[in-house]
Amino acid sequence: MRMDLYPNDNYEHGPMQPPYPDTPPTPNIAAKALNLVVGDRNEAYGPPALDYAGTAKAWSGLLIDKLKPGVEINAREAILMMVVLKCRREVTKPKEDNRIDAIGYILCEDWEVTGIKPVIETNQIK
């Protein structure tokens, strides 16, 4: 493994240290993600099944020469590609936004698959 690609990792002397020591971790990034998914993002873009169906159609159109004839990306695959994007960004530049968004996309994927909108419990942090 090329060590220069992972400058924050110190495999000889212990686990990776937080890349931004001056930034305290958020107490509950899962609650933040849930609030975005069922709050602001849902109000702005609608349910994930509808929103990502459109995204999938657009991506399928962009990839028409790469996909097999008759094959299109579906909403679930579009959401999962967004999870991968956020994970990739987290590998190269860790930050809370990447982690919140990745959790949010997984919540969207679950909502799309099950048809059940996530619920904010009254005791969750907003």
Instruction: Encode pLDDT of 23-71 as tens digits.
Output: 555 568 999 999 999 999 999 999 999 999 999 999 999 999 999 999 9
Sign of the CA dihedral 85, 36, 126, 109?
negative
Predicted confidence (pLDDT) at residue 5 exceeds the cutoff of 60:
no
For the question of whether the overall pTM of this predicted structure is more than 0.95, the answer is no
What pLDDT, in 10s, does the model give residues 63-86? 999 999 999 999 999 999 999 999
Domain boundaries, the chain: 26-114
Residue 118 contacts residue 38 (beta carbons within 8 Å): yes
